[in-house]
Amino acid sequence: VAPELDLIEEIQKLKKEKNAVLLAHYYQDPAIQDIADHIGDSLKLSQIAEKTDADMIVFAGVYFMGETAKILSPNKKVVIPDLNAGCSLVDSCPPAEFRKFLEQYPNHTVVTYINSTAEIKAMSDIVCTSSNAKAIIESIPEDQPIIVAPDKNLGNYLKNETGRDLVIWEGACTVHEVFSMEKIQKLKETHPEAKVLVHPECEKVVQMMADFIGSTGKILAYARESEAKEFIVVTEAGILHQMQKDMPEKTFIPGPSFAENTCSCSECAFMKMNTLEKLYLCMKYERPEVHIAPEMREKALAPIQRMLEISK
Ligand code: 13P
Ligand code: SF4
């Protein structure tokens, strides 16, 4: 890319020229969030991907998000800045092992987090995100046994919230598992008025520190509505950009991680693989493109549609 090129201007031009919609997750680099047409959590972005009348969906997020967009809008071109932007939670649930796991629990309803491959979704009855997981579990009859996968922390949170006896796959997100309960406790001593906002992918001991537990979108909404002036935000640090932008009068402190010598917050290396330069190139050359085999798409679509139906 020529150094004199104004990437932001070029991306704006490409959006118009190609009738493209740019979707960005809250964990994206601030510069990407600032030029996106829509910023959101997994649920909101998939709802937009399903309804858009753009010709091309540019998904600044991680692979499973682009894949879900393609499943929902198969006739649109879906491009992502970096094909290698994966997700540790997705990797914690390999399809062959999951298939064997399911065989041990026949007649269970399989509720799968959106952070999973299309193959895992295709083996599921209904998909969920952090913002609708509780409602999805509650939509299933009381006497029906349920499997929740792949995130064990979200699974245990749901067990607690709904009182249901869930069978849980033991996967986790490496970004959300590094927050330190002790360090949050210390921070609370110096900021006693601060509200602790926690993503359900965090460990149970960290969830126990929370004033509020929810998806990125719900964390943002809680901070907007709260009278509090200070917040300790225990999720990927990218969301702080949007929080600070929306609420300049409030203070947001990134949740501290175990790591002593690195930045005290937690960043998702996969989300941060996307850069303005890669975004520009993917829009210009319309690749890398997300593809999915039609039979797999069909099988993965039904559980996603069930989720969207309940989340209207
Ligand atoms: P949200 O749906 O809360 O945005 O979560 C997505 C994610 O990847 C969390 O790590
Ligand atoms: Fe996956 Fe965790 Fe990154 Fe979210 S923060 S995309 S769950 S690795």
The pLDDT of residue 186 is above 60? yes
Which of 173, 177, 215, 265 is the pocket-test mutation for ligand 2 (most atoms within 8 Å of CB)?
173
For residue 122, which amino acid is it? A
The pLDDT of residue 264 is above 60? no
Q: What is the dihedral of CA 78, 79, 80, 83, to 10 degrees?
A: 100
Residue 217 burial by Cβ neighbours in a 10 Å radius (0-12, 13-18, 19+): buried
Which parts of the chain fold into alpha helices (H)?
7-17, 30-35, 42-51, 63-72, 88-91, 95-103, 118-122, 133-138, 152-162, 181-190, 204-207, 216-225, 239-246, 276-285, 294-310
263 pLDDT tier (thresholds 50, 70, 90): low
CA 129 – CA 113 distance, rounded (Å) = 6
B/e letters for 158-189, b = 16+ CB within 10 Å, e = fewer, are bbeebebebbbbebbbbbbbbbbbeebeebee
Say if CB 79 and CB 288 are below 8 A apart: yes
Residue 192 burial by Cβ neighbours in a 10 Å radius (0-12, 13-18, 19+): exposed
Give 160-174 as a 3 state SS string. Answer: HHHCCCCEECCECCC
> What is the per-residue pLDDT for 269?
95
The residue whose CA has the least distance to atom 8 of ligand 1 is: 115
Question: Token pair of 92, please?
Answer: 């914690």
The residue whose CA has the least distance to atom 2 of ligand 1 is: 42
Phi, psi of 233 (to 5 degrees): -105, 105
Find the mean pLDDT for residues 145-152.
98
Question: Token pair of 161, please?
Answer: 């919230």
285 pLDDT tier (thresholds 50, 70, 90): very high
Domains and CATH numbers, the chain: 7-84+271-294 (3.40.50.10800), 89-173+298-310 (3.40.50.10800), 176-254 (3.40.50.10800)
Q: Which ligand is nearest to the CA of 266?
A: 2
Find the mean pLDDT for residues 198-218.
98
The residue whose CA has the least distance to atom 3 of ligand 2 is: 268
Residue 299 burial by Cβ neighbours in a 10 Å radius (0-12, 13-18, 19+): middle
CA of 263 to the centre of ligand 2 (A): 18
Question: Nearest CA to 205 among 149, 253, 153, 252?
Answer: 153
The residue whose CA has the least distance to atom 2 of ligand 2 is: 173
Say if CB 106 and CB 92 are below 8 A apart: no
Find the mean pLDDT for residues 182-205.
97
262 pLDDT tier (thresholds 50, 70, 90): low
Q: What is the dihedral of CA 137, 140, 146, 148, to 10 degrees?
A: -30
Say if CB 111 and CB 90 are below 8 A apart: no
Nearby residues of 216 by Cβ (< 8 Å), 6 or more positions away: 25, 26, 27, 41, 130, 199, 235, 236, 239
132 annotated ligand-binding residue: no
CA of 114 to the centre of ligand 1 (A): 9
Q: Ligand 1 within 6 A of 68 CB?
A: no
Nearby residues of 120 by Cβ (< 8 Å), 6 or more positions away: 93, 95, 98, 112, 149, 150
> What is the per-residue pLDDT for 258?
83
Tell me the sheet residues that pair with 146.
Answer: 109
CA 277 – CA 290 distance, rounded (Å) = 19
Instruction: Return the ∠ at Cα 223 (arms to 172 and 218), rounded to 5°.
Output: 45
| 2-24 pLDDT tens trace | 777 899 999 999 999 999 999 99
